[in-house]
A and B are shown apart, each in its own frame.
Chain A
């Protein structure tokens, strides 16, 4: 449908969260990661021969939670992808709890869809494990602690390409 609009259509979460937290009395806005360049690695062989893995920001269901319903500790994990878990812990993550829900795993961590692509030969195989990385306020923790660990698991499992999905 053709329309004319004076504003961009997609939501700016950088603008929105800055104004929202300012209204709550937080005077220092969060500073988001910004880079002028981005690294790029081309696929090294046909996708039909590659093992593909997945990373999520969701947590494990057995996570210990505090009185506010948040995970007490947010730890990295690697977990069996087959069979895919039925549910993941998402209650303490930043997503639109009014408009939608996370009852269907494949809407945010499509392990079953990836397994179907492996069965159909579109990819070589799906990694036997998927990887969980907590959303951290601290970008240093993500870059220096979490990302190297995900890379290590990736190498252990022979993952040659990775799909990452943030809630």
Chain B
């Protein structure tokens, strides 16, 4: 998404990116970024909280008018309510290391089978 924003900026369209994956967006480098420190999925406000959504979109509109240089990040003041999601998402520790390794092997096996099926269907070696 950041690459699309960059292309629009390069071609004369001002943009604001709204997101929750701060490192990914800032590594790529965009003109204007409204960061909300939430679990991935609701970068424009909590579900059904129309006032919060209105404020986040409003912040993006303010940034269109007021940012004067690229890589302007504004962090909205909202908190998710608990911090459990921070460590739980994509967690790797001793409790799930073996299960993750098995999942990976299973996925590679399925992908190899799907590829084999494609080759049979298309007659490729």
Which chain B residues border A143 with CB–CB below 8 Å?
3, 7
Instruction: Find residues 104-126 in chain A having any chain B CB closer than 8 Å to their own CB.
Output: 104, 106-110, 113-114, 116-117, 122-123
Task: Determine if A84 is an interface residue (Cβ-Cβ < 8 Å).
Answer: no
Q: Which residues of B sit under 8 angstroms from A135, Cβ to Cβ?
A: 1
Which of B27, B45, B89 is A106 in contact with, Cβ under 8 Å? B45
Q: Find the A residue at minimum CB distance from B51.
A: A113
> B67: shortest Cβ distance to chain A, in Å?
8
- The chain A residue with its CB closest to the CB of B5 is A164
Q: How many B residues are at the interface, by size bracket?
A: 35 or more
A166 touching B43, Cβ below 8 Å: yes
Determine the interface band of chain A, counting residues with CB < 8 A from chain B. 35 or more
Interface residues of A (CB under 8 A from B): 9-17, 19-21, 23-26, 32-44, 47, 52, 55, 57, 90, 94-104, 106-110, 113-114, 116-117, 122-123, 133, 135, 139, 142-143, 146-148, 150-151, 154, 159-167
27 A-B pairs with CB atoms under 8 Å apart are A11-B21, A13-B21, A17-B90, A19-B90, A19-B92, A24-B107, A32-B27, A34-B27, A35-B29, A38-B29, A38-B31, A38-B70, A39-B31, A41-B14, A97-B41, A100-B38, A100-B47, A107-B47, A107-B48, A146-B4, A147-B7, A148-B7, A159-B13, A161-B14, A161-B64, A164-B5, A166-B1
